[in-house]
Amino acid sequence: MDEIKKQDVKAFAYLDAINKEKWTASHDGGWRCGILTTNMSECINGVLKGARCLPVSALVEITLERTVHYFHVRAMKGQKILQNNQLWTDFTCKMFISWQQKAVEHTVTKYSHAQQSAPVVTRRQGRHGMNIHVVKIANRECSCGKWNQFGIPCSHAQKVCGAYNISVASMVKDYYDVMAYNNTYSKHFEPVQSEDYWDDPNFQLVHDPTIRTVTRPGRNQTTRIHNEMDWRQTRARQEAQQQQGDSSIQENVPKEDC
Ligand SMILES: [Zn+2]
């Protein structure tokens, strides 16, 4: 913070007023910057792929164009889901049904009707299975962690809901609802007219020839701080390369005569 203060007092005052848990990796307990924000940034990166290092005006244009397209495609998809009388989006339906099918294999013992809690035992599969997960419907939680993570009742929770005659559909988080999806993408964008018709900005951009970008040969070194998502990608790439190497070794092994 002292370093930021030295650089820019206004920036320091702005950041100092915000809870540090919300914008620093050192104070967020490993949640926000490690997973949530990074995931969100990767989504935006995915949409705006190829839009880096462009002039500012082109960057704004391409961002607007792709965002409009992104919203248009999803608005159409939302209408289609609504016409099909689906409760949730395709992703949610797929996950819900998959866990619903799995729930049939579990066994459940009712413990507390007041708390609607119960242990659920999974099916034996060879050496595996026979795991016990504890579901507490009143708290909307299961010890496997999937319900808490995805907001969709896992197979264990669905089994317990069935035992206590509770509607499983009512346990799915509201943000998966078709109406929520449609509301998200129902906003519209205003087309931008030609620059000649823009309002006068009351200022003039002046080119400063003293500011030049220094270009060096070779690839630029990134200053981005790497996180667990990068490590995972690097590991996957290394494993793929190793597999490729192994298969080429296999191909080069001389075949034995029959
Ligand atoms: Zn579970």
For 11-59, the pLDDT digits (tens) are 999 999 999 888 887 887 766 665 666 777 788 887 777 777 788 888 8
pLDDT, position 8:
92
pLDDT, position 123:
83
Structure tokens at 158: 């669905």
Measured CA to CA, the distance from residue 177 to residue 81 in angstroms comes to 10
The residue assigned the tokens 């509607």 is 167
Residue 112 has pLDDT above 80, yes or no: no
Q: What does the DSSP assignment read for 206-233?
A: ---TT------SSPPPP-PPP-HHHHHH
Ligand 1 center to 8 CA (angstroms)? 49
Q: How far is CA 215 from CA 126, 210, 211, 212, 247, in A?
A: 62, 15, 13, 9, 40
In whole angstroms, what separates CA 248 from the centre of its chain? 36
Ligand 1 center to 149 CA (angstroms)? 10
Instruction: Tell me the per-residue pLDDT of 133-152, one tens digit each, with 9 for 90 and over.
Output: 999 988 889 999 999 888 99
Residue 258 has pLDDT above 60, yes or no: no
Where is pLDDT greater, at 209 or 36?
Answer: 209
Residue 87 has pLDDT above 60, yes or no: yes
Measured CA to CA, the distance from residue 21 to residue 24 in angstroms comes to 6
Give me the mean pLDDT over the 245-250 stretch. 56
Residue 159 has pLDDT above 50, yes or no: yes
Residues with CB under 5 A from ligand 1 (ion): 133, 142, 144, 154, 156
Band of residue 239 on the pLDDT scale cut at 50, 70, 90: confident
Residue 154 has pLDDT above 70, yes or no: yes
Give me the mean pLDDT over the 174-197 stretch. 90
Ligand 1 center to 118 CA (angstroms)? 11
pLDDT, position 18:
93
Where is pLDDT greater, at 201 or 18?
Answer: 18
pLDDT, position 184:
93
Ligand 1 center to 38 CA (angstroms)? 26
pLDDT, position 36:
65
Ligand 1 center to 155 CA (angstroms)? 6
pLDDT, position 251:
46
Ligand 1 center to 167 CA (angstroms)? 17
Ligand 1 center to 177 CA (angstroms)? 21
